[in-house]
Amino acid sequence: MTDARYSPLHDLHVGLGASFTDFAGWQMPVRYDSDLAEHHAVRERVGMFDISHMAEISVTGSQAGEFLDFAVAGKMSALALGQAKYTLLLTEAGTVIDDLIIYRLGDEHWLVVANAGNRFAALDALKARVAGFSANVVDQSDETAMIAVQGPSALAVLESTVGLSLSDTAAERPQTTLADLKYYWTLPAVFLGHPVLIARTGYTGEDGFELYIDSTEAAALWTALAQAGEDHGIVPCGLACRDTLRLEAGMPLYGHELTLDIRPAQAGLGKVVALSKEGDFVGRSASEQDLPADAPVLVALVGDGKRAARADYEVFVGDDKIGIVTSGALSPTLGFPIALAYVHPSHAAEGSVVDVDVRGTRIPFTVSTLPFYRRKKD
Amino acid sequence: MSNPQELKYTEEHEWLRVEGDNAVVGITAYAAEKLGDVVYVDLPKVGASIKAGTVVGEIESTKSVGELFAPADGTVTAVNDAVVASPELVNSDPFGDGWLIKIEVSDLPELLSADQYTALTGE
């Protein structure tokens, strides 16, 4: 057991009265006051999250793109400068080591963002796979902080943050302003002279941004964002609402919906595996095989009433156990229980009715479609 | 939030307001804070007989499930319908409007004083 790790923003969280939870060895805010209020703030206004526990791995070199095409499931060499892509790191057996977002930051420079709990698994896999390529894999997690600003007013907050401005090189990008920046694209920025990467990405189902900055400057940036957000009703948000927000948006969480036992196609992520790209990649031959006919598949479940199906609860049809819940909550936005579960494919069709064993009581749930919640586009 | 002096407490984070043979029961502010926002409360039926230390209800937050343990032997004489309809009362007023059940006590075990309970939770 190693010592707990602390975000560079830890003292700020303590000052804000946060409750903390262990997350992958990190002491991170689980909530500041009310996780429901934080959830609603992101849906209705704007919230800010410290996600500095995420792992950042830099990949550089003349063959960095070819290396990533071999190492992960997507075609990273095809990304344009400033573009991001959601992808998967697979085993040879085609199961999931981690889900990643990869950003192209230069002609020979990509940034791989991995889950905190998979920092070393991802790093080890990338370092093992880089052999023979002219590329370098460097862990930058300790030096990099990450702040997410999420919600309908996120753009307004960033635009009014004192000291934060786009870099001169932003003018050369396909989208040159934050307002024009498309989902899964980035712009280079500076905060009080220090580089910031601003990405229009997130894990909430709302519009928003994720900002990467040197750990040493993170507290000043957090404070500036909070000040800019005051007029917009910004609240600091913990991991509790981050989880209910991502669940409503139907986004998988590693360790729940994605594991070393799961192939992407089971999780509805078959298209993330770019079988059409040229050349071999780790997990390719396994991914080309069809799933076994009885392989469990991920479904969305919705229930009546207020009782949540939670992770590890068993799913039944009659007396037959046909699956297991991987995530679940009483949806704060929708007001009814929502869950993700792996079930036998014969019960995966939309409209199928199953029972979840909620601590000894069978509660009916209906197979629905993802996402549970979709924001209204303006 | 400090623990009211006039109440008794259990190690399972219930409080009791004992008045003769009757007691009002709820969970402490400490327990409510640890649970997070309460979104669902499942309480025993009026008339149910309960035994100290057994699970008689559930208090669910967005993130977890807490169990309500009977703090004494007795019979349930009332449940708080307001808290069933508005579970957030457990967070906003745990020692008041967020009460959970009333019981007629047949046997009251030894309970903690406010100071003892405060020492137990270290807050």
| Total of domains in chain A | 2
Residue A20 pLDDT class (50, 70, 90 cuts): very high
The structure tokens 């745990």 sit at B94
Average pLDDT of span A231-239: 98
DSSP bridge pairs for A22: A27
Nearest CA in chain B to A337: B62
Interface pTM (ipTM) of the complex? 0.82
Do A228 and A308 lie in one domain? The reply is no
**B11 has a chain A CB within 8 A of its CB:** no
Do A188 and A311 lie in one domain? The reply is no
Interface test with B, best of A28, A237, A330, A357 (most B CBs within 10 A): A330
Do A204 and A322 lie in one domain? The reply is no
Average pLDDT of span A24-43: 96
With a pLDDT cut of 70, the percent of chain A lying above it is 99
CATH 2.40.50.100 is held by the domain B8-107:
yes
Whether A286 is covered by a domain: the verdict is no
DSSP A46-91: -EEEE-TTSEEEEEESTTHHHHHHHHSSS-GGGPPTTBEEEEEEE-
Average pLDDT of span B35-55: 95
Q: Is the pLDDT of residue A213 over 90?
A: yes
Q: What integer pLDDT is reported at residue A119 of this predicted model? A: 97
Whether A44 is covered by a domain: the verdict is yes
For A362, the domain range is 292-378
Nearest CA in chain B to A333: B62
Nearest CA in chain A to B87: A306
The C-alpha of B62 sits at a distance from chain A's nearest C-alpha, in angstroms, of: 6
How many helices, marked H, and strands, marked E, lie in chain B? 4, 9
Nearest CA in chain B to A32: B36
Q: What integer pLDDT is reported at residue A333 of this predicted model? A: 97
**B63 has a chain A CB within 8 A of its CB:** yes
Q: Tell me the pLDDT of chain A averaged across its residues.
A: 97
**CA-angle at A177, arms to A171 and A183, nearest 5°:** 115
Residue B122 pLDDT class (50, 70, 90 cuts): confident
What does DSSP say about strands A5-6 and A26-31: parallel, antiparallel, or unpaired? parallel
The C-alpha of A7 sits at a distance from chain B's nearest C-alpha, in angstroms, of: 22
DSSP bridge pairs for A191: A164, A194
DSSP 8-state assignment for residue A306? S
Whether A116 contacts A23, CB under 8 Å: yes
Contacting residues of B for A39, CB less than 8 Å apart = 62
Task: Point out the least confidently predicted range of A291-300, A325-334, B32-41.
Answer: B32-41
Do A234 and A299 lie in one domain? The reply is no
> Which residues lie below 8 Å from residue A364, measured CB to CB, with a gap of 6+?
A303, A304, A353, A354, A355
Whether A104 is covered by a domain: the verdict is yes
Q: What integer pLDDT is reported at residue B123 of this predicted model? A: 61
Q: What integer pLDDT is reported at residue A2 of this predicted model? A: 63
Model pTM? 0.93
Q: Which of A214, A246, A279 corresponds to the end of one domain?
A: A279
- Provide the residue ranges of all domains of chain B, joining segments of one domain with +: 8-107
Report chain B's C-alpha Rg in angstroms: 13
Whether A156 contacts A149, CB under 8 Å: no
Contacting residues of B for A332, CB less than 8 Å apart = 39, 62
- Interface contact flag, A35 B36, Cβ < 8 Å: yes
**Phi, psi (5° rounding) for residue A288?**
-75, -15
Q: Is the pLDDT of residue A284 over 70?
A: yes
Q: Is the pLDDT of residue A378 over 70?
A: no
Residue A376 pLDDT class (50, 70, 90 cuts): confident
Do A11 and A135 lie in one domain? The reply is yes
- Among A336, A310, A345, smallest CA distance to A324 is for A310
Residue B94 pLDDT class (50, 70, 90 cuts): very high
Q: CA-CA distances (angstroms) from residue A111 to A64, A158, A218?
A: 11, 22, 19
Q: What integer pLDDT is reported at residue B63 of this predicted model? A: 84
How many helices, marked H, and strands, marked E, lie in chain A? 8, 21
